[in-house]
Each structure stands twice: as C-alpha cells, then as structure tokens.
Amino acid sequence: MRIGIKNIGSIDCANLKINSIAIIAGENNTGKSTIGKSVYALFQGTKNVEEGNLNEQYLSLLRELRRLKSFFEFKSGDFDENFFISFFNDVEESLEERDLAKVMELFKLLKEDNQVNYENEEMKKSAFYEIDRFLRVLNIDVTSLNYKTSYLERVFKDEFSNSINSLYNKQLPSEITATWEKSSHNKIVFNDNILNKDETHIEHFKNLGAIYIDNPFVLDDVSPSRFYRFNSFQFTRNSLDHSTQLRNLLPTLLKEVTLFDEFVNMGRFDDILSEVIKGTIKFDGKGIQFEENKTGSAYPVNNLATGIKSFSLIKSLIESGELSRNDILILDEPEVHLHPSWQLKYAELIVLLSLELNIKILVTSHSPYFVEAIELYSKKHKINKLVNYYQTVRNPNGNTLKDVTNDLPLLHADFANPFIHLEKLRDEYDDLD
C-alpha cells in the first residue's frame, strides 16, 4: 500500500509505502505526527462507515424522542397515559435493538386519529410537527454516498481540530491518497478545510479501520460515563478523533475478553508481555483496575507505572482480537516512557504483531535503540524485506519525507549526532573533575 500526502499541516509532500511496518524518524516538529494523523483519518474515514452513521442516527432519534415525550407530558389534552407509556417503552426498546422498521410501525400507529384525542386542531398540528421531525431523522438513508462522505469529512475535521490546511500556504488544496496492489485508489481533497467532493474519489469504503496510540494515559481516562446511557438521555457530541475513539473502545474490550479469547489471541505475544506485565487489567464498572498476579491485590490503573500502561494497552487490544479487526496500527513515539531494555521488547512485539496478525503498522520514533531493534528483530523473524524506513526533512515551505530504507546508515548517523556532541562535552569538561 502506498500513501501520498500533500499540504496537510506542516507537511508539504510525503510519500511512503506500508507493506508490513513503516518507521518514520526525524527531529521534533517535522511532521511525523501529522503523517500519522493523516493516515488514521484516511483509514477511519473510509472504512465501512454504515455502523458509525447508524450510531449517529440512533443518537439523533433519541434526542427527537426525548423532545416528543416532553411535548406529550406538558401539553394538555385527553391522552391515554397507559398508551403513551407503552408506546415510548416500545420505541425505546426497538431503538436499542436498532429495529428501525418496528419504530416506523409504532409511529404509524401513533398518527392514527383514533389513538389520541387532541384538544383542538392546533394541538394536533403541533403534535404532528413533532412526530414528523422524528420521522425525517428515521427516514434518512445513512448508507448513501452523501452520508459516507460527510462522515469522512467529520473524521478529518475532528482529528485535525478543523485545521487540515497547509500551515505554509492555506490556499493550496490538501490531499491524501492511498493506492493498493489491486489498483484500487482513494483520493481525498480538502479546500479551506472543507471536503472537495468533486475532487475526492473513493473507489471503495473498506470494512476495517485504524487504531492510533500516542498516549498510554488514555487508560486513566476510561470510565462508565463514556457510554451513552439510553434511559437517562445523556448526550454529548462523540468526537471521531483517535483519542476519543480509543477511550470509547477500551471499556467494551476489557469487559468482554474471555479466557478463550486470551488463549486464542495471545499466542506468541504472551512470552514478551508476561515478562513485563505481572498482572491483569480489568474494567469493574467503576474504572480500570490492575490486579497483581502474585498478591491478588488490585488498585486503580492511574497508579500503574507508565511503561506498564504502554504494554497493557497493547495487550488489551490483542486479547480482545481488536487489532486483527483493523487494517493498521499507528504508534506515535511508543518508546517515550520505556527504559531501553523495554524498548527492545516493545520493538519485537511490534514485529510479531505484523507477522502474526498480518496488520500494517506505522511507527514514529526518536529512539536509536528502538529503530535498530525493529531492524534486527525484523531480520530475526524474516520480515525485514517488508519493513520501510523514512526520515522527515525540515524545509522552509513545509516538511518532506525521505525514503532511507536502503540507506540506514544515514538514519543512524542522525541519531548519533547527540552522542557525538556529548562526547565532545565529556572531552572538554572531564579534566575539570
């Protein structure tokens, strides 16, 4: 798979190939994270979005239903209270089951004259207005191309906080393309942070999406309040950015993992993870707890060492099978909180994930230990010919990406510069001791 990015954020132009693993190294503030966010939005926005749109429709229907309930509760008239209690209970149950056809039948029944005795024609007109509002939302075709492209636009806007354009020339169109081996091609174009539907070309919406991890502290933020609670009608705008999506995903994964899941999905990963994680992450309805294997004691995950959180997050995604249900895993500087010895373990884990799950992995890194470990472990597990290496290059008009797959000494030399500087300092100041 080949990815092309033009004029997005700090990136002027970036072209990369992701066969199994792609490593991007470079200085701070040279666009590494922008590339990761662009790839995430591309995959997440062009996956099979019908489920996402159905969820959005579901939330809109709940809002309209709450409005309709309020209307009949506060308007005077000869209303059959038992009928309305039964009606709204049936509608709520059908919505929870996503049985929209049943909901339509119930509303047809509601509109029949003999079901409700309205006080006057004006009240009937107002009631039918509220009912028709609900039916308009119910009749929207969320599988249409128009809705799919709207979802795609919202993913990009949420991921980039409505700032997709080039930082250097806002007049230039922003563009990302993906080309697969079977010649399928997706091209997404934004002008002034608005999706250009005429220039955007999507040959297929993929069934799988992306997972983007840039912060192990996401585990600290998970709580039951992240679920929409149907009966209490609590609603918030569900952002489609990578952090929110991961936070929303984790409680379900942690609650639904069974012993069978662990046995089937862990495989070759268990040896590495069991060396690092001496316990189990669990979601108990109040939040995420870490239970120690040796003592059985449990404590909130926010008290857990950050390095263990990094491994635990990956472990949860493996155990649940969630990684195998996605096209690509994006890891933004995963080595940040890890001792060099654990960086090596994490690097081998990434190689095994690509090998065993056949998932594509995009990694950004600052660590010479980590990048070299990927290089050597990919040779150990015989996938080195499928790993590509890139280096970001700072330019006045936007950052670019250089393919250094066949010139790794250039990458290592860049990593070595700080060590050389330290050696010079050592030579200069050691004599002062």
Cα–Cα dist 291/222, whole Å: 17
pLDDT value, residue 253: 65
pLDDT value, residue 291: 86
pLDDT value, residue 382: 96
Report the chain's terminal Cα–Cα distance, integer Å.
56
The DSSP bridge partners found for residue 3 are 16, 178
Task: Give the H/E segment covering residue 51.
Answer: helix 50-74
Which pair of tokens denotes residue 215? 């912060």
Q: Say whether 369 sits in a helix, a strand or coil.
A: helix
Which pair of tokens denotes residue 25? 């190294």
Cα–Cα dist 171/192, whole Å: 7
pLDDT value, residue 119: 75
Mention every residue, 6+ apart, whose C-beta is less than 8 A from residue 294.
278
Q: Comparing C-alpha atoms, which of 240, 234, 181 is closest to residue 209?
A: 240
pLDDT value, residue 256: 54
List average pLDDT for each run of 10 residues in the chain, which is 433 residues long: 96 96 96 96 80 73 87 66 83 88 87 70 85 88 80 93 94 93 84 94 77 92 51 54 86 58 63 87 75 87 92 88 84 96 96 92 96 97 97 94 96 93 90 68
Q: Are 39 and 3 in contact (CB under 8 A)?
A: yes
Q: Are 289 and 312 in contact (CB under 8 A)?
A: no
pLDDT value, residue 144: 78
Q: Comparing C-alpha atoms, which of 113, 191, 116 is closest to residue 153?
A: 191
What is the Cα 244 distance to its own chain's centre? Answer: 7
Q: Comparing C-alpha atoms, which of 353, 330, 371, 361 is closest to residue 21?
A: 361
Q: Are 327 and 43 in contact (CB under 8 A)?
A: yes
Strands (E), 297-386: 298-300, 326-332, 360-365
Cα–Cα dist 426/414, whole Å: 20
Which pair of tokens denotes residue 362? 């995009």
What is the Cα 396 distance to its own chain's centre? Answer: 31
pLDDT value, residue 231: 39
Task: Give the H/E segment covering residue 399.
Answer: strand 399-403
Amino acid (1-letter code) at residue 253: L
Q: What is the pTM of this model?
A: 0.81
